[in-house]
Amino acid sequence: MNVILLIAKRFLMPRNMLEGGIINIISFIGLFIGAASVILSVAVLNGFQGILENETKKIYGDYAINNFDYTVDKELIDIFEKNGIQYAPYYEEEFFISKNKKQSLVNLKSVDSLKFKNFYDLELVSESQDLNHGEIIIGKSLADRMDFSIGDSISIYSTKLNMSYLAIPSIEELTIKDIFQNRILRSDEFLVFTVSKDYNFPDKKFTDIEIIGNIENIIPLPNEQIVSWQQRNKQLFDATEIEKKITFFTLFLIIVVASFNLSSSVMQISTKKTREMAILSTFGMSENRISRIFLLYGYLLAVSAITSGILFALLVIFLQNTFGIFMLNPDFYLVSKLPMVISFKDIALLLFYSVIIIGLFATLPLMLIKKIRPIELINKNI
Partner 1 sequence: MILSARNLKKTFQDGDNTLQVLKGVNFDLDKGDILTIKGASGSGKSTLLSLLGTLDKPDSGEIIINNNNLKTINNYDSIRNKHIGFVFQFHNLIAELNIIENVTIPTLIAGKNNDTDYINKLFEYFNLSNRKKSFPLDLSGGEKQRVSVMRAIINKPSIVIADEPTGNLDEKNAMKMIELFKNLNADFNLTFIIATHDEKVFRIGDKKMNLSNGTLKEV
Q: By the 8 A CB rule, do 71 and 200 touch? A: no
Which one of residues 126, 271, 282, 336 is an interface residue with partner 1 (CB under 8 A)? 282
Is the CB of 14 or the CB of 50 nearer to partner 1? 14
| DSSP string across 286-336 | -HHHHHHHHHHHHHHHHHHHHHHHHHHHHHHHHHHHHH--SB--HHHHSSS
Which one of residues 33, 226, 256, 279 is an interface residue with partner 1 (CB under 8 A)? 279
Which one of residues 276, 303, 328, 355 is an interface residue with partner 1 (CB under 8 A)? 276
CB of 284 to partner 1, least distance (A): 3
CB of 367 to partner 1, least distance (A): 20
For residues 75 and 65, what is the distance between their CA atoms, to the nearest angstrom?
A: 14
Q: Of residues 284-313, which lie at the interface with partner 1 (CB under 8 A)?
A: 284-286, 289
For residues 245 and 206, what is the distance between their CA atoms, to the nearest angstrom?
A: 39
For residues 133 and 194, what is the distance between their CA atoms, to the nearest angstrom?
A: 7
Is the CB of 215 or the CB of 293 nearer to partner 1? 293
Judged by CB under 8 A, the stretch of 9-17, 70-78, 98-106, 155-163 that binds partner 1 is 9-17
Establish if 14 lies at the interface with partner 1 (CB under 8 A): yes
CB of 4 to partner 1, least distance (A): 9
Is the CB of 3 or the CB of 348 nearer to partner 1? 3
Pairing of strands 171-181, 135-139: parallel
For residues 190 and 366, what is the distance between their CA atoms, to the nearest angstrom?
A: 61
Q: Of residues 231-260, which lie at the interface with partner 1 (CB under 8 A)?
A: none
For residues 73 and 57, what is the distance between their CA atoms, to the nearest angstrom?
A: 24
| DSSP string across 120-133 | ---EESS------T
CB of 287 to partner 1, least distance (A): 8
Q: Of residues 338-377, which lie at the interface with partner 1 (CB under 8 A)?
A: 374-375
**In degrees rounded to 5, what are phi and psi of residue 193?**
-115, 140
**In degrees rounded to 5, what are phi and psi of residue 92?**
-130, 135
How many binding residues for partner 1 (CB under 8 A)?
27
CB of 2 to partner 1, least distance (A): 8
Is the CB of 159 or the CB of 286 nearer to partner 1? 286
CB of 269 to partner 1, least distance (A): 11
Task: Tell me the C-alpha to C-alpha distance, in Å, between residue 124 and each of 180, 212, 253, 346.
Answer: 4, 20, 44, 36
CB of 245 to partner 1, least distance (A): 42
For residues 277 and 158, what is the distance between their CA atoms, to the nearest angstrom?
A: 83
Task: Tell me the C-alpha to C-alpha distance, in Å, between residue 234 and each of 193, 216, 242.
Answer: 22, 20, 12
Judged by CB under 8 A, the stretch of 8-16, 60-68, 95-103, 307-315 that binds partner 1 is 8-16
Judged by CB under 8 A, the stretch of 21-29, 218-226, 271-279, 363-371 that binds partner 1 is 271-279
Establish if 271 lies at the interface with partner 1 (CB under 8 A): no
Is the CB of 36 or the CB of 285 nearer to partner 1? 285
Which one of residues 131, 280, 302, 366 is an interface residue with partner 1 (CB under 8 A)? 280
Which one of residues 102, 275, 345, 370 is an interface residue with partner 1 (CB under 8 A)? 275
- 3-state secondary structure at position 103: strand
Which one of residues 77, 227, 372, 378 is an interface residue with partner 1 (CB under 8 A)? 378
Sign for the pseudo-dihedral over CA of 269, 275, 276, 281: positive
Judged by CB under 8 A, the stretch of 4-12, 175-183, 258-266, 320-328 that binds partner 1 is 4-12
Rg, the chain, Cα only: 32
Which residues of this chain interact with partner 1, rule CB under 8 A?
1-3, 6-7, 10-11, 14-15, 275-276, 278-286, 289, 374-375, 378-379, 381-382
